[in-house]
Structure 1
Amino acid sequence: MALRLLTLDLDNTLWETDPVIVAAERKTHAWISEHCPQAASFYSLEALREYRNQIAECYPQLRFQVSRLREEVLRRVFMQSGVERERAAALAAEAFQVFYRARSEVTLFEGAAEALQQLAAEYPLIALTNGNADLELIGINTLFRAHFSAEQLGAPKPQPDLFQAALQKADVHAHECIHIGDHQEQDIVAAARLGIKTIWVNLSDAAWAETEVQPDQEITHLSQLPAAVAALAGRMSD
Structure 2
Amino acid sequence: MSIKLVTLDLDNTLWETDPVIVKAEKACHDWIVANVPQAAEFYTLEALRQYKNDIAECFPQLRDKVSALRLEVLRRVFLQAGISGDEGREKAQQAFDVFYKTRSEVTLFDGALDALKTLKNDYSLIAATNGNADLKLIGIDHLFDAHFSAEQVGAPKPQADLFEAALAHAGVNPEECIHIGDHQEQDIVAAKRLGIKTIWVNLCDAAWAEQECVPDQEITHLSQLVSAVAALQ
* TM-score higher than 0.5: yes
Aligned residue for 1:169, secondary structure, equals helix
The answer for unaligned runs of 5 or more in structure 2 is: none
Equivalent-residue separation in structure 2 for 1:140 and 1:90 (angstroms)? 29
Structure 2 counterpart of 1:165, one-letter code: A
- 1:136 is matched with which residue? 136
Equivalent-residue separation in structure 2 for 1:148 and 1:23 (angstroms)? 24
Q: 2:232 matched to 1:220?
A: no
- 1:5 is matched with which residue? 5
Equivalent-residue separation in structure 2 for 1:61 and 1:158 (angstroms)? 17
Q: Percent identity, aligned pairs only?
A: 70
Aligned residue for 2:215, secondary structure, equals coil
The answer for unaligned runs of 5 or more in structure 1 is: 234-238
Deviation at 1:84, TM superposition (A): 2.8
Equivalent-residue separation in structure 2 for 1:95 and 1:8 (angstroms)? 29
Structure 2 counterpart of 1:6, one-letter code: V
Equivalent-residue separation in structure 1 for 2:115 and 2:156 (angstroms)? 26
More deviation in 211-220 or 83-92? 83-92
Q: 2:49 matched to 1:54?
A: no
- 2:118 is matched with which residue? 118
- 2:181 is matched with which residue? 181
Equivalent-residue separation in structure 1 for 2:89 and 2:60 (angstroms)? 21
- 1:104 is matched with which residue? 104
Deviation at 1:85, TM superposition (A): 2.3
Q: How many residues align?
A: 233
User: Deviations 1:43-101 (Å, cap 9, x if unpaired)?
Assistant: 00000000000000111110010000001100000010111322111100100000010
TM-align CA RMSD: 0.5
- 1:236 is matched with which residue? none
User: Deviations 1:180-218 (Å, cap 9, x if unpaired)?
Assistant: 000000000000000000000000000000000000000
- 2:193 is matched with which residue? 193
Aligned residue for 1:147, secondary structure, equals strand
Equivalent-residue separation in structure 2 for 1:118 and 1:40 (angstroms)? 47
Equivalent-residue separation in structure 2 for 1:137 and 1:130 (angstroms)? 17
Aligned residue for 1:114, secondary structure, equals helix
Equivalent-residue separation in structure 2 for 1:15 and 1:67 (angstroms)? 19
Equivalent-residue separation in structure 2 for 1:108 and 1:142 (angstroms)? 15
